[in-house]
A and B are shown apart, each in its own frame.
Chain A
Amino acid sequence: MNSHALAELVLQASADGVVAFDRALVCTHWSRVMETMFGLPAAAVVGKPLPAVLVSPFGDRTPLRRVLEGEEIALEGCPCERREAGPGARTYDARYVPWRGAGGAVEGGVGLLRDTSPLQQAERRAQEIESRFRIMADVAPVLLWMAGTDALCTFFNQTWLDFTGRTLEQEWGVGWAEGVHFEDFQRCVDTYMAAFAERRTFEMEYRLRRADGQYRWVLDRGTPRWERDGRFAGYIGSCVDITDRKDLELDLLRAVSLRDEFLSIASHELRTPLTALRLQLDSVARSLERRPTEHLASGKLAASTGDARIQAERLTLLVERLLDISRLAEGRLTLDHEELDLVSVVGAAVEVMRAPARVAGCELRFAAPPALRGRWDRLRLEQLVTNLVGNATKFGAHQPVDVAIAEDTNGQASAARLTVTDRGIGIDPQDQRRIFERFERAVPPRNFGGLGLGLWVAKQIVDAHEGTISVASAPGEGATFTVVLPTARTHTSGRSA
Chain B
Amino acid sequence: MTDRTCAGVLVVEDDADILRAVVQVLEDEGYAVRAAENGRVALEALREPGAPRPCVILLDLMMPVMDGWAFRAEQLRDPALSDIPVIVLTADGAATQKMGRMHGAGALRKPVELLTLLDAIQPFVS
A residues contacting B by CB (< 8 A) are 267-268, 271-280, 282-283, 286-287, 307, 310-311, 314, 359, 394, 397, 445-449
Bound state CA distance, A448 and B38, in angstroms?
A: 12
A277 & B91 in contact (Cβ 8 Å cutoff): no
B67 & A278 in contact (Cβ 8 Å cutoff): no
B18 & A272 in contact (Cβ 8 Å cutoff): yes
For A278, what are the chain B residues with a Cβ–Cβ distance below 8 Å?
A: 111-114
B110 & A275 in contact (Cβ 8 Å cutoff): yes
Query: At the interface, yes or no: B117 with Cβ under 8 Å from chain A?
Result: yes
Bound state CA distance, A274 and B21, in angstroms?
A: 11
Bound state CA distance, A283 and B27, in angstroms?
A: 11
B111 & A271 in contact (Cβ 8 Å cutoff): yes
Contact with A along B75-92 (1 / 0, CB 8 A): 000000000000000011
List 30 A-B residue pairs with CB atoms under 8 Å apart, sorted by A's residue number. A267-B91, A267-B93, A268-B92, A271-B110, A272-B15, A272-B110, A275-B18, A275-B91, A275-B111, A275-B112, A276-B15, A276-B17, A276-B18, A278-B113, A279-B18, A279-B21, A279-B24, A279-B112, A279-B114, A282-B25, A282-B113, A282-B115, A283-B21, A283-B25, A286-B114, A287-B28, A311-B17, A359-B16, A397-B64, A446-B67
- Which residue of chain B has the shortest Cβ distance to A397 in the bound complex? B64
A307 & B21 in contact (Cβ 8 Å cutoff): yes
Bound state CA distance, A273 and B16, in angstroms?
A: 10
For A310, what are the chain B residues with a Cβ–Cβ distance below 8 Å?
A: 17
A446 & B62 in contact (Cβ 8 Å cutoff): yes
**B20, B69, B91, B115: residue with the most chain A Cβ atoms closer than 10 Å:** B91
Query: At the interface, yes or no: B55 with Cβ under 8 Å from chain A?
Result: no
B28 & A273 in contact (Cβ 8 Å cutoff): no
Query: At the interface, yes or no: B22 with Cβ under 8 Å from chain A?
Result: yes
Ranked nearest first, the 6 interchain pairs of A and B with the lowest CB-CB distance are: A282-B114, A271-B91, A275-B110, A278-B111, A274-B111, A275-B111
For B117, what are the chain A residues with a Cβ–Cβ distance below 8 Å?
A: 279
Bound state CA distance, A192 and B25, in angstroms?
A: 69
Interchain nearest-CB distance for A309 vs B (Å): 12
Bound state CA distance, A280 and B28, in angstroms?
A: 11
Interchain nearest-CB distance for A414 vs B (Å): 41
**A275, A446, A448: residue with the most chain B Cβ atoms closer than 10 Å:** A275
Interchain nearest-CB distance for A442 vs B (Å): 14
Bound state CA distance, A278 and B20, in angstroms?
A: 13
Interchain nearest-CB distance for B99 vs A (Å): 15
Q: Which of A267, A283, A394 contacts B114 (CB 8 A)?
A: A283
Interchain nearest-CB distance for B63 vs A (Å): 8
Bound state CA distance, A277 and B113, in angstroms?
A: 10
Interchain nearest-CB distance for A229 vs B (Å): 63
Contact with A along B1-34 (1 / 0, CB 8 A): 0000000000000111110111011001000000
Bound state CA distance, A28 and B13, in angstroms?
A: 121
Bound state CA distance, A445 and B93, in angstroms?
A: 15
A279 & B62 in contact (Cβ 8 Å cutoff): no
Bound state CA distance, A449 and B110, in angstroms?
A: 15
Bound state CA distance, A275 and B16, in angstroms?
A: 12
Interchain nearest-CB distance for B38 vs A (Å): 10
For B16, what are the chain A residues with a Cβ–Cβ distance below 8 Å?
A: 359
Bound state CA distance, A272 and B60, in angstroms?
A: 11
Query: At the interface, yes or no: B61 with Cβ under 8 Å from chain A?
Result: yes
- Which residue of chain B has the shortest Cβ distance to A269 in the bound complex? B91
Which residues of B from 46 to 70 have beta carbons under 8 Å from A? 61-64, 67, 69
For B20, what are the chain A residues with a Cβ–Cβ distance below 8 Å?
A: 276, 307
A314 & B17 in contact (Cβ 8 Å cutoff): yes
A275 & B64 in contact (Cβ 8 Å cutoff): no
Bound state CA distance, A468 and B24, in angstroms?
A: 47
Bound state CA distance, A314 and B28, in angstroms?
A: 24
- Which residue of chain B has the shortest Cβ distance to A281 in the bound complex? B114
- Which residue of chain B has the shortest Cβ distance to A283 in the bound complex? B25
For A276, what are the chain B residues with a Cβ–Cβ distance below 8 Å?
A: 15, 17-18, 20-21
For A286, what are the chain B residues with a Cβ–Cβ distance below 8 Å?
A: 28, 114
Interchain nearest-CB distance for A263 vs B (Å): 11
Q: Which of B28, B62, B69 contacts A268 (CB 8 A)?
A: B62
- Which residue of chain A has the shortest Cβ distance to B117 in the bound complex? A279
Interchain nearest-CB distance for A227 vs B (Å): 61
Q: With A278-B113, A279-B114 as given contacts, are A447 and B64 in contact (CB-CB < 8 Å)?
A: yes
Interchain nearest-CB distance for B7 vs A (Å): 22
For A279, what are the chain B residues with a Cβ–Cβ distance below 8 Å?
A: 18, 21-22, 24-25, 111-112, 114, 117
Interchain nearest-CB distance for A393 vs B (Å): 11
A280 & B21 in contact (Cβ 8 Å cutoff): yes
Bound state CA distance, A446 and B14, in angstroms?
A: 11
Bound state CA distance, A25 and B22, in angstroms?
A: 127
Q: With A283-B24, A307-B20 as given contacts, are A277 and B111 in contact (CB-CB < 8 Å)?
A: yes
For B24, what are the chain A residues with a Cβ–Cβ distance below 8 Å?
A: 279-280, 283
Known: A283-B25, A287-B28. 14 other contacts (CB 8 A): A272-B15, A274-B111, A275-B112, A279-B18, A279-B21, A279-B22, A279-B112, A282-B113, A283-B24, A445-B62, A448-B64, A449-B15, A449-B62, A449-B64
